[in-house]
């Protein structure tokens, strides 16, 4: 698509992770493919760049990737128990 490859990493300090194991589990398991990121960026480039548009993009992505998101949530619930 013409985008320069890059690594995107979620970071948090040790204290935050210790007090928020559920969030830490989501952060540890969170993945979005480069193709999906590029597709969403193209939507914004094409003018779908309002807060409402971006929230809709996220909800659409979640619906299209429900099984993956559910796995993240299961792991988060386990971390929180």
19 C-beta neighbours (distance < 10 Å), count? 9
Residue with tokens 């971006």: 54
What pLDDT, on the 0 to 100 scale, is given for residue 47? 98
**14-80: CATH homologous superfamily?**
Periplasmic binding protein-like II (3.40.190.10)
What pLDDT, on the 0 to 100 scale, is given for residue 46? 98
What pLDDT, on the 0 to 100 scale, is given for residue 7? 74
Residue with tokens 């890059």: 6
What pLDDT, on the 0 to 100 scale, is given for residue 9? 81
What pLDDT, on the 0 to 100 scale, is given for residue 5? 67
> Which DSSP string corresponds to 1-31?
--PPP--------HHHHHH-HHHHHHHHH--
Mean pLDDT per segment of 10 residues, for the chain of length 81 residues?
Answer: 70 93 92 92 97 98 98 94 90
What pLDDT, on the 0 to 100 scale, is given for residue 60? 98
């Amino acid at each position: 698509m013409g985008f320069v490859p890059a690594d995107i990493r979620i970071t948090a300090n040790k204290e935050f992770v210790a007090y928020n194991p559920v969030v830490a589990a989501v952060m540890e398991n969170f993945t979005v493919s480069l193709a999906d990121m590029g597709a969403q960026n193209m939507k914004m480039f094409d003018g779908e760049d309002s807060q409402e548009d971006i929230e809709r993009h996220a909800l659409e992505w979640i619906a299209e990737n429900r099984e993956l998101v559910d796995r993240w949530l299961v792991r988060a619930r386990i971390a929180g128990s």
